[in-house]
Amino acid sequence: MKKKYNIAVVGATGAVGQMMIKILLEKKFPFNEIFLLASKKSNGKKINILGNQFTVQSLDEFDFKKVDIAMFSAGADISKKYAQVAVKNNAIVIDNTSFFRYEENIPLIVPEVNGDDIIKYKETGIISNPNCSTIQMLVAIKPIHDVSKIKRINVCTYQAVSGSGNLAIEELKNQVTDFVNSEKLKINVYPKQIAFNVIPQIDMFMENGYTKEEMKMVWETKKILDNKIEVNPTTVRVPVFYGHSEAIHLELEKRIEASKVKDILKSYGNGIVLVDEHINGGYPCAANECEDSNNVFVGRIREDISCSAGINMWVVSNNIRKGAAYNSVQIAELLINNYL
């Protein structure tokens, strides 16, 4: 293990990129230098994060030879074009986009679930960070799967706009203001207005009628946790800034009582926080629990009254932190602690 590492953050002006830098600082990641990379238009821009001043550089002209680990979060097209450039210059890539996720020889890692798979990075120099909705679901259900195998998951998501980046955050703010002022709403990022609305489409439609976000949950659950698990997802965008919520219904091989599930999750620790009381407000909510937290919050645990070995739960987590930036930094920590 080297003492200190040079890190590049690609997409450093974006919602996830900014959070990556914040978490590297919060976790006191052993870095020499963090290089902030973005498009040409951001070249020279000064950014202050937790009292540290950084200058953004243009990705086009950057020399990856200076870097040990490159964390990409600037969209799939940028990963397609530049991830291999970083690898050729001996940087290890942690990619937050979906571009490499489904390639067999590229590990797709949630450290609490399949951290050991990271060793496969040696084949390609690339590690993929999963989709935000998949990460929080798998963290919450892994300890249950360890006790009684999950056969099938029905999941409906309620996803925050920050998952679509800074432009989407602005779009929700602007639409709320325009709505209150009785002005015409401007619609650019989403297919319909997101203010005071609920949109049952995330990412593009696939041939089977599911959206790509939904199929990501199917493919990634199988790749990360267990290929035998069947997943039936509906993913929905809601007018929330930060924090995805998920109503998850599990069909298990053997029945476990709800109280036992609560005990399993409570004693598991490892990033899971149980908020489950049968009182008003005794459950996690995006705007309350997620703000500065890297945890996955679980509540509303109940036995499914319509099937013999079913468990229902409500899972909430900050999509920009555990769903993206924090998970990527955890991967970087696994790397330096075990392989570099």
Distance of CA 169 to the CA centre of its chain: 17
156 assigned to active site: no
DSSP state of 324: I
Query: What H or E segment, with its residue span, contains residue 95?
Result: strand 92-95
Query: What H or E segment, with its residue span, contains residue 143?
Result: helix 132-147
Nearer to ligand A2P, 15 or 132 (CB): 15
Nearer to ligand A2P, 54 or 179 (CB): 54
Instruction: Give least dist CB 49 to ligand A2P, A.
Output: 13
Region class of 226: left (phi > 0), else alpha (psi between -120 and 50), else beta? beta
Question: Who's near 28: CB < 8 A, 6+ residues apart?
Answer: none
Read off the tokens for 63: 């020399």
Instruction: Give least dist CB 69 to ligand A2P, A.
Output: 18
Which residues of this chain interact with ligand A2P, rule CB under 6 A? Answer: 11-15, 17, 38-39, 41-42, 59, 74-75, 78, 165-167
244 assigned to active site: yes
Nearest CA to 335 out of 91, 135, 10 is that of 91
Phi (first) and psi of residue 85, to 5 degrees: -65, -45
DSSP state of 32: E
179 CB-contact burial (10 Å; exposed 0-12 / middle 13-18 / buried 19+): middle
Task: Using CB positions, name the residue nearest to ligand A2P.
Answer: 14
Instruction: Give least dist CB 135 to ligand A2P, A.
Output: 17
Instruction: Give least dist CB 212 to ligand A2P, A.
Output: 17
Is the Cβ–Cβ distance between 229 and 148 less than 8 Å?
no
What per-residue string of b and e applies to 224-243 under the rule 16 or more CB within 10 Å gives b?
bbeeebebebbbbbbbbbbb
Nearer to ligand A2P, 45 or 255 (CB): 45
Hey, is 164 helix, strand or coil? helix
Nearer to ligand A2P, 10 or 231 (CB): 10
Nearer to ligand A2P, 1 or 167 (CB): 167
Is the Cβ–Cβ distance between 326 and 295 less than 8 Å?
no
Read off the tokens for 283: 């459950």
Instruction: Give least dist CB 175 to ligand A2P, A.
Output: 17
Is the Cβ–Cβ distance between 169 and 242 less than 8 Å?
no
Nearer to ligand A2P, 39 or 114 (CB): 39
Nearer to ligand A2P, 78 or 316 (CB): 78
67 CB-contact burial (10 Å; exposed 0-12 / middle 13-18 / buried 19+): buried
Which among 244, 278, 285, 307 is annotated as catalytic? 244
State the catalytic residues.
132, 244
